[in-house]
Amino acid sequence: MTHVQGRARRAGAALAAVLTWAGLLTGCSADGPGPLGMGGAMGKPPAPEDVIRVTPDDGAKGVHPGDRLRIRVPGGRLEKVTVVRSQDAQDSPVPGHISEDGLTWLPDQDRLALAAKYTADVVALDSRGRRSARHTTFTTYVPDERFIGYVTPENRSTVGTGMIVSLAFSRDIGNRAAVERAVRVTARPPVEIRPHWFGKNRLDFRPEHYWKPGTEVTVDLDLRDVEGARGVYGLQDKSFSFTVGRSQVSVVDAAKHTMDVTRDGQLLATVPITAGAPKHPSYNGKMVVMDMLEVTRMNSQTVGFGGEYDIPDVPHAMKLTDSGTFLHGNYWAPEAPGVANVSHGCVGLRDVKGGGSDTPAGWFFDRSLVGDVIEVVHSKDKTVAPDNGLGGWNMPWDAWKAGGAVK
């Protein structure tokens, strides 16, 4: 054998070895996952977007909250899905589940949040067992207009037995059912609580009868991103709570010029009062103390009268209606309580200028809570309207329940 022939034979053997290893590698890669798990050293896996389909599209902007988030593979199976919502500088995981066949992932809640960025990280196997990974993002619609609900009573307050939960919305509500579903009022111990709409921007809640003392009430507002009117979305996602204190109900008899103050079923005192004069009688019916002011100004022109009065320092004033009815101390007509009705519709108790703690008005003020019930009887006026202040107790229970938007 010549030197040239030996060199040629060694080169041929080396080439055969290279081809053999190449064939082995090619054979491992052509139709299977290979040792690297991504199609092998020589195979070419499909593009991730062909294996993993994410809706909404990657990079989409202004996605409507009604659009659905969906992740799927046409074949194979999803291995891992992680979705994160970034909103108000906070990241929150989006709970969801992979279907039994492994082809689809859906969020547990259908509705997307507004003004949020969503990020999806997905790992899946295609129908040939090749692994792919995909990272996508999209952002949702940022509305120009929002609404909120102002809640009565105040958070963590202790209130009287007649308190009605009242929400005053900052915008007129067209989709009342959606908003009503997003507000939940619960009590401990449990009691049936029902909603009633007054007009387009007020929603009240109450039980059939006055709250029992010691009841703890929670108001959950899940209004964020709820479309209350066309193009107007809720902003709040928070809870309020309050506790019902002792039961105090005071009955004003306009004909007898007296008020019986009853607490937890026991008569505390009978107090002399003056009610509305014949030309301006007091409303009949159940009213709830909405606010308590040590001193306030009362001007007749602010409640629809002329210039009959303007008293800058009315003491011990408790607001009963939106239309201007108060129960308050009276120092300018000290002989009227217990004798005559001389007011313009308010209920007056004897007091002194500046307010005295040992007067009937001071005594009652110190023993009252927002949410206490003041009921006027035997007056010559009509019954106070259910939406005038917290007057909902004057509406029969069946009529109250009929005022909800969700049937």
**How does pLDDT run across 89-115, given as a tens digit for each residue?**
788 999 999 999 999 999 998 889 999
- Tell me what the mean pLDDT of segment 114-142 comes to: 93
| CA-closest candidate to residue 83, choices 72, 69, 66 | 69
User: What integer pLDDT is reported at residue 43 of this predicted model?
Assistant: 59
Query: Is position 257 annotated as part of the catalytic site?
Result: no
User: Is 302 or 211 the better-scoring residue by pLDDT?
Assistant: 211
| CA-closest candidate to residue 138, choices 120, 160, 158 | 120
Q: Which letter does DSSP use for residue 224 in this model?
A: T
CA-CA-CA-CA torsion sign (258, 262, 266, 271): negative
Name the catalytic one among 196, 257, 316, 328: 328
- Residue 302 dihedral angles phi and psi, to the nearest 5°: -80, -10
SS3 of residue 360 by DSSP: helix
Beta strands in 21-174 (DSSP E): 53-55, 70-72, 77-87, 90-93, 96-98, 104-107, 117-125, 131-139, 145-147, 149-152, 157-159, 165-169
d(CA 383, CA 391): 10
- Tell me what the mean pLDDT of segment 229-247 comes to: 95
How distant, in Å, are the alpha carbons of 177, 219, 221, 304, 333 from that of 150?
18, 12, 11, 26, 38
User: Is 312 or 15 the better-scoring residue by pLDDT?
Assistant: 312
First to last CA, the chain: 103
Q: Is the pLDDT of residue 304 over 70?
A: no
| pLDDT band for position 16 (cuts 50, 70, 90) | very low
| pLDDT band for position 88 (cuts 50, 70, 90) | confident
Domains delineated in the chain: 48-139 (2.60.40.3780), 145-245 (2.60.40.3710), 248-391 (2.40.440.10)
How large a percentage of the chain has pLDDT more than 90?
Answer: 80
- Tell me what the mean pLDDT of segment 232-259 comes to: 96
* pTM of the model as a whole: 0.76
Q: Is the pLDDT of residue 49 over 70?
A: yes
Q: Is the pLDDT of residue 7 over 50?
A: no
**How does pLDDT run across 250-286, given as a tens digit for each residue?**
999 999 999 999 999 999 999 999 999 999 999 999 9
User: Is 28 or 367 the better-scoring residue by pLDDT?
Assistant: 367
d(CA 141, CA 114): 6
CA 96 to chain centre: 24
Q: How many CB atoms lie within 10 A of CB 58?
A: 13
Query: Is position 209 annotated as part of the catalytic site?
Result: no
**What is the rounded average pLDDT for all residues in the chain?**
89
SS3 of residue 97 by DSSP: strand
Q: How many CB atoms lie within 10 A of CB 9?
A: 11
- Tell me what the mean pLDDT of segment 168-184 comes to: 97
Name the catalytic one among 196, 316, 344, 346: 346
How distant, in Å, are the alpha carbons of 26, 39, 297, 369 from that of 290?
83, 72, 17, 9
